[in-house]
Amino acid sequence: MNFSKESFINGELILINKPIGWTSFQVVNKIRWLIKSSYDLKKIKVGHAGTLDPLAQGLLIICTGKLTKKITEFQNEKKGYCGTFFLGATTPSFDLETEIDSKSSIENIDSNILEATAKKFLGCINQTPPIYSALKVNGKKLYNYARKGEQVKLKKREINIFKFELNSVKLPLIDFEIECSKGTYIRSIANDFGKELKVGAYLHKLIRTSIGEFKLSNALSIDDFQKKIKN
């Protein structure tokens, strides 16, 4: 992979492995700064094709220059994830961003019940986005309402789950793989999965493994990208 000033202006597609703790916006800013400072550019268009939550890691498609016009096309691709649910507890954010607010016994849950429940999520389903998210209602991001304790009526959205497999069950932890359509919140899948079992659940870990034909295995760390661009 050989980068140049001209290639970034004409359009590069960069696969980045977003680390935990970074927002997708921070990754874009870092990539933009590296390109501008390395090639003495005053400005360069840089964008990403699909947000990952700060607590998630994995594949982020970064587009530069003229290729930013194709961001929507990449956003519409099928996404692949793997991760871990924590069963028997809930959090307001549906993940580890907020503290546990309820706990339930999971002594009656077995692998047969879990497999049967997972099958209920396959196909077209309606999903309510998490209140702790960057979606906007009346021009304001949902997490701003959530952090102030304000109530917002959320509309369900149709999504498609193409694959939902439970790979390892060591309760309270459940390792899973999911392939889904654009707009799917895996945190909401975790929460809804727990509701269906009547014991609660939240997302303990999440890695995005693919976007369309693009794979995490081909992605660069931010440090690796920095080394390549400096050569």
pLDDT tens column, 124-182: 999 988 877 777 777 777 777 767 777 777 789 999 999 999 999 999 999 999 999 99
For the question of residue 53 being annotated catalytic, the response is yes
pLDDT recorded at residue 1: 66
Q: 109-119 burial, b for 16+ CB within 10 Å, e for fewer?
A: beeeebeebbe
pLDDT recorded at residue 149: 72
204 and 116: one domain? yes
Q: In 3-state terms, what secondary structure has residue 32?
A: helix
Helices of type H across 52-210: 71-75, 111-119, 142-147, 186-197
**Residue 141: enclosing H or E segment and its boundaries?**
strand 140-141
Selected residue with higher pLDDT from 228 and 135: 228
pLDDT recorded at residue 11: 95
Say which range, 83-92, 129-138, 213-222, has the weakest mean pLDDT. 129-138
Of 31, 4, 80, 79, the C-alpha closest to 220 is 31
* CATH number where 71 lies: 3.30.2350.10
- Distance of alpha carbon 155 from alpha carbon 174, whole angstroms: 28
95 and 206: one domain? yes
pLDDT recorded at residue 230: 66
118 and 192: one domain? yes
How does pLDDT run across 31-85, given as a tens digit for each residue? Answer: 999 999 999 999 999 999 999 999 999 999 999 999 999 999 999 999 999 999 9
102 and 189: one domain? yes
136 and 157: one domain? yes
pLDDT recorded at residue 231: 61
Task: Report pTM.
Answer: 0.93
Structure confidence at residue 186 as a pLDDT band (50, 70, 90): very high
- Distance of alpha carbon 53 from alpha carbon 20, whole angstroms: 9
What is the average pLDDT value for the chain, to the nearest integer? 93
Q: Which domain holds residue 31?
A: 5-76+213-230
In the chain, the amino acid numbered 132 is Y
Is pLDDT at 24 greater than 70 in this prediction?
A: yes
Residue 200 vs residues 4, 86, 134: alpha-carbon distances, Å:
50, 9, 23
Domain count, the chain: 2
Cβ–Cβ contacts within 10 Å for residue 224, how many? Answer: 12
Catalytic residue among 53, 101, 223, 224: 53
